[in-house]
Structure 1
């Protein structure tokens, strides 16, 4: 595999990992625009804009966008997070010019008022759908509680009120700022030719205009608060705990990922054997999330309401034991094997490599080959895990409980 990178005259950064052994090619635009970049007045605009991008351009209406992707058998999608909006397509190498023509075209959408008014109702229904989901309610509330006034606590979807009040001119202004070429990384992975992708980028994106935009990424500090939300209609109790963790800029992110795997992987972890195997809980998992100048360790729990307090105590006991006694060599080896295997399996597909390439370059201006990524995890030692546990304590956590009981409190 060969890695290449360049910057177009307008500031668009273009990267590619060329793999002649692949049978497909993936391409994606990584726009540094997410819910943390929004003011309260336009909460949810990043995600709303992601929808609007597919509603038509000066060259295509919404039907033509889908039709032209389908004509070449391309698989396309997009997603919005707290920090980014990611548009991507995967296709056979011979159809990259046609597929990229559509993908690049939609990144300069019409943002027509009629489409805006129609799609607004779709967004509102999506928000209502997530409000019916206990885990989604708990996750949004946990982020808001943990990060407090920090923009990472803002909802990706926004609220029914913020979307209802949003005006198309506000979206157009946000687009003009955040979708500047200097705020976007264009990545390719798979079977392609570097000269070809540079030519495609120049032909389709070279004329894009826009100024410089920055993000004030201030490191947050979690609140450690507790909140119980009553949902009498729920059958289970849903709990999410959040603790601070290393940011994405730190090399400690590898140790944090392995620690999360040891503590709360969905199989064979400490919490699995403590809560799932004995039947105390239906689900428990720990997930490490890295952000720009921030990080978080999320603990997810779903169980019978009557077991909630006892399960919080069990989780607390597991975390206290890990802090006091450390992690064993056997546990670290098992966690490494899991993480390395998943990394390799994901990387066998160009689409699996695309996300890693794009996000690494967006935030670290760094290329990591699969081998380099595996080596970074392999280098983590027990001392590294002990240091992470000391510098980023597991307890106390911010905790949000959602369900039919509010007779819950933070574990002692």
Structure 2
């Protein structure tokens, strides 16, 4: 059975991929919820609901839930992102029906008592107290200023404490509902199990409603200019943190974007690493990330450099980018393309990763999910000329912004960058 994606009569998104060579099966239940759907007043409610499912799952107490999943060698994991909440379990095929009995309880219509909510609030409050402010959060707080992407997924101590049992149970009923869900199963299951699962899902009462995707575009997205492209943060250090961000429209071919950014910056043999780190020893490492959001993508390059070398490092970075806009060698292409063609087959042995990819692409980003074989075919069609074309479309000044933490005078930073990009 090939990968299938369908919408059931009760609006459940149902994605399956049968892989009979595996010795395990991954089942996930996901919902469109998270901080993007919240306000500054109920921020953190989706994350709290995720926690509460583990405190009580329908008729299963916390102790019973843990026993029932551990006796089949499984652990349900729950994750809350800004745009969805997902629960998943990975088991061997003989325990699949038992796992399904547990996972279908996420659709049961039940409520949590105030005493249970108060207990779980204390757990979440301890998490908030112990949560470190991450590097990515620092970048997002600047890049996504005044958008919902700056809301913390866990909420704040104030918002979590203020949530009432009525608000929490109402949120569960509206957002954690069949109409707003996606069930994904990948791995070694039979045709008979597929039919059984589809029938079980189809008879679930339809309540709630499918939430529309929320698109929160960063301020000045693809409209960067000399007045808004730079944020300089003062730091008393001999080192500077440089972050270069590229706005990427959703209309660009994602596979081409992924491939060109990989040639530029992924791995020890990438153009950036070979020149900035190996040739000139300007930095110890270069961190890059291509992140997909609903409606757009963002590509980031970040590194640490001595203050005395910051201007030289940025100048070299831009020379490398300009070079890739005119020429990509056969060696650069040949040393990158196997990761996106041949290595796609590795994902066929990882049903948990496939589940995550299918939920993100089909349910959240509204992109028809591609299995690894389909992805490989897409990448094989991309030619060097296609990559040069996409490089000239995304690596332009209207898409570029900087976040720089340094002790260097901000006016000197801006003067240098203005001259580099606008003169």
Query: Scaled by the length of structure 2, what TM-score is found?
Result: 0.83
1:101 maps to what in 2? 101
Is contact 2:265–2:272 with CA below 8 Å preserved after alignment? yes
Match of 1:169 in 2: 166
After superposition, residues 5-404 of structure 1 pair within 5 angstroms as 5-106=5-106, 108=108, 110-131=111-132, 133=133, 136=134, 138-200=135-197, 202-203=199-200, 206-215=203-212, 217-218=214-215, 220=217, 222-223=219-220, 224=224, 225-229=229-233, 238-247=241-250, 250=251, 252-277=253-278, 278-303=280-305, 308=310, 310-323=312-325, 325-362=326-363, 363-364=365-366, 366-393=368-395, 395=397, 397-401=400-404
Over 3 Å counting, the alpha-carbon distance change for 1:53 and 1:239 in structure 2 is farther
Cα gap change, 1:58 to 1:34, in 2 (>3 Å)? closer
Contact 1:139 1:240 in 2 (8 A): no
3-state SS, counterpart of residue 295 of structure 1: strand
Gaps of 5+ in 2: 418-423
CA apart distance, 1:307:
5.1
Contact 1:18 1:190 in 2 (8 A): yes
Secondary structure class of the residue paired with 1:289: strand
3-state SS in 2 of match to 1:375: helix
Show the counterpart of 2:420: none
Write the distance in 1 (CA, Å) between the matches of 2:235 and 2:276: 23
- How far residue 405 of structure 1 moved from its aligned partner, in angstroms, is 4.2
The 1-side partners of 2:47 and 2:407 are apart by 33
Question: Secondary structure at the residue paired with 1:40?
Answer: coil
> In 2, Cα distance between the equivalents of 1:306 and 1:15?
53
Question: Matches of 2:158 and 2:344 in 1, distance apart?
Answer: 40
CA contact (8 A) 1:222 1:243 kept: no
Structure 2 SS opposite 1:281: coil
- Kindly indicate whether the alpha-carbon contact (under 8 Å) linking 2:25 and 2:93 is maintained by their aligned counterparts in 1: yes
> In terms of Rg, which structure is larger?
2
CA–CA distance in structure 2, aligned partners of residues 215 and 144 of structure 1: 24
Cα shift readout 1:228-253 (whole Å, capped 9, x = no counterpart): 44676x99754433221142xx5611
Name which of structure 1's ranges 44-53 and 175-184 shifts more when overlaid on structure 2: 44-53
Cα displacement string for residues 27-54 of structure 1 (whole angstroms, at most 9, x for unaligned residues): 1113222322222222233333322222
The structure-2 alpha-carbon separation of the partners of 1:313 and 1:251, relative to structure 1 and needing over 3 Å to count, comes to: closer
Q: Say if 1:11 and 1:181, in contact at 8 Å, map to a contact too.
A: yes
Q: TM-score when scaled to structure 1? A: 0.85
